[in-house]
Amino acid sequence: MDNQFQFDWQAAYNSVPFLLKGLPYTLMISFGGLIVGFLLGILFGLLSLNKKWYLRWPATAYIEIFRGTPILVQVLFIFYGLPDLIGAPIDPVTAAIIAIAVNSGAYISEVVRGGVQSIAKGQQEAGVSLGLTKVQTFWYITWPQAFRRMIPPLGNQAIVSIKDTSLFSVIGVGELVRQGQVYIANTFTAFEVYFAVALIYLAITLSLSILLRIYEHRSQSAA
């Protein structure tokens, strides 16, 4: 029996238009979740630096819980478990965006914390000595410098979150992988279709990686 496999490039090519129907969902979930995650990251990252334990401990708990559990478990809990608590169903896309938001927010919190702590305390003291309040010193001196240092790890988190959207096919979100599954069910060309899916993801993540390298190169040149 001849079981020799031959890759069908035409089948992979033909699948691309159908797969691209899922690209808007992938990008919407990724960047929608990341925007909310960035806001959560700033909030909990700064709270984790607070000297008051009743502010610091809840932030630490949030960070540890969502960094310590798989995002697949998180989205399943949000989609299947949370409706029992709130008494209303949650749309799959909404559940996916929430999952990206709370998951990326936990990682971004650590990025924010590390970025702020990397700024020398002497600069904060200099701001206060110039007559600025502690809040003014933070927003006008500490935060701008810290944010520039955060951009590379924030970009890396964006890449991770984009790849994480591939897991949301389990709740029926029509993103790239789900579109691939539907196409395979009709054509039985699994290898070629998943190869095309991988190439689309690779094109997105490589584009972001190149932008990050350009930014880092310009930052080093300007330093």
DSSP 20: G
Predicted local distance difference test score (pLDDT) of residue 207:
95
Q: Is the pLDDT score of 4 beyond 80? A: no
Q: How high is the pLDDT of residue 123? A: 82
In terms of CATH architecture, what is 15-222?
Answer: Orthogonal Bundle (1.10)
Task: Write out pLDDT tens, residues 164-201.
Answer: 999 999 999 999 999 999 999 999 999 999 999 999 99
Q: Is the pLDDT of residue 1 over 60?
A: no
Residue 54 and residue 77: Cα distance in Å, rounded? Answer: 27
Query: What percent of the chain shows pLDDT beyond 70?
Result: 98
For residues 49 and 217, the model is more confident at: 49
- The tokens describing 140, both together, are 């006008």
Given pLDDT bands bounded at 50, 70 and 90, which one contains residue 223? low
Per-residue pLDDT, 134: 82
Helix 23-47 to helix 53-68 angle, to the nearest 10 degrees? 150
Residue 47 has pLDDT above 80, yes or no: yes
In this predicted structure, the answer to whether residue 221 has a pLDDT above a threshold of 90 is no
**Share of residues in the chain with pLDDT > 90 (%):** 78
| pLDDT tens for each residue of 9-20 | 999 999 999 999
pLDDT score at 3: 67
Nearest to 78 by CA among 52, 98, 55, 107: 98
Exposed e or buried b for every residue in 66-92, given b needs 16+ CB within 10 A? beeeebeebbbebbeeeeeeeeeebeb
Q: What is the pLDDT of residues 96-128, one digit of tens each?
A: 999 999 999 999 999 999 999 998 888 877 887
Which pTM value belongs to this model? 0.92
Q: What is the DSSP string of 151-219?
A: HHHHHHHHHHHHHHGGGGGGGT--SHHHHHHHHHHHH--HHHHHHHHHHHHHHHHHHHHHHHHHHHHHH
CA 17 to chain centre: 25
The pLDDT assigned to 21 comes to: 95
